[in-house]
């Protein structure tokens, strides 16, 4: 098991844009395993979290790994093809914030994403509601964009303990 350091808000590593994955090889499989181990460790330690993007552990390739309740999805080179005009507000947080606070932001209610799997085979999938928000968040990481970049008002920030009491 290889648990990697998760870079935190303020680190220049999180602002760097990721490169396309070109080689679907053992090195890629190793990076995916690191993402998986790091996500599982974070979930165990903090009791929260569904996905992780490769820049959060210092890999600047376009990789997103999701796992919740043993439902697993790996997206390599994900690209949002469509976003619904319909928006909704969500309370968002991030491993790179240590999930210490949540911010209220606006996201598209539905997205369509094209991505490749571990073999390089292309897929197109639609996501709505909480998964739409989640994958917009993770794909933003691949472009050096953080959830805080979507914040419209500093009044839309709350500590995790307040969020848990009000919204859990």
Residues that are catalytic: 138
Query: Could you tell me if 91 and 163 are in contact, meaning their C-beta atoms sit under 8 angstroms apart?
Result: yes
Rg (CA), the chain: 15
Question: Is residue 159 helix, strand or coil?
Answer: strand
d(CA 45, CA 166): 22
Measured between alpha carbons, how far is 86 from 53 in angstroms, rounded to an integer?
A: 25
Strand partners, 90: 105
Structural contact between residues 87 and 43, judged by C-beta atoms closer than 8 angstroms: no
> Are 65 and 28 a contacting pair, CB within 8 Å?
no
Closest CA to 157 of 105, 120, 103: 103
Q: CA quadruple 1, 61, 141, 132: dihedral positive or negative?
A: negative
């Amino acid at each position: 098991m290889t648990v990697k350091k998760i870079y935190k808000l303020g680190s220049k590593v999180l602002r760097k844009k990721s490169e396309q994955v070109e080689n679907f090889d053992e090195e890629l499989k190793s990076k995916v395993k690191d993402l998986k181990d790091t996500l599982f460790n974070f979930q165990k330690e903090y009791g929260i979290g569904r996905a992780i993007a490769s820049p959060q552990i210092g890999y600047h390739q376009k990789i997103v790994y999701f796992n919740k309740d043993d439902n697993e999805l790996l997206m390599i080179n994900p690209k949002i093809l469509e976003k619904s005009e319909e928006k909704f507000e969500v309370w968002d947080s991030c491993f790179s914030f240590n999930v210490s606070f949540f911010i209220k932001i606006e996201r598209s209610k539905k997205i369509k994403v094209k991505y490749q799997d571990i073999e390089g085979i292309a897929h197109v999938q639609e996501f709505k509601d909480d998964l739409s928000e989640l994958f917009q968040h993770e794909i933003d990481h691949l472009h050096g964009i953080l959830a805080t970049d979507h914040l419209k008002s500093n009044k839309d920030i709350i500590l995790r303990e307040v969020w848990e009491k009000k919204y859990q």
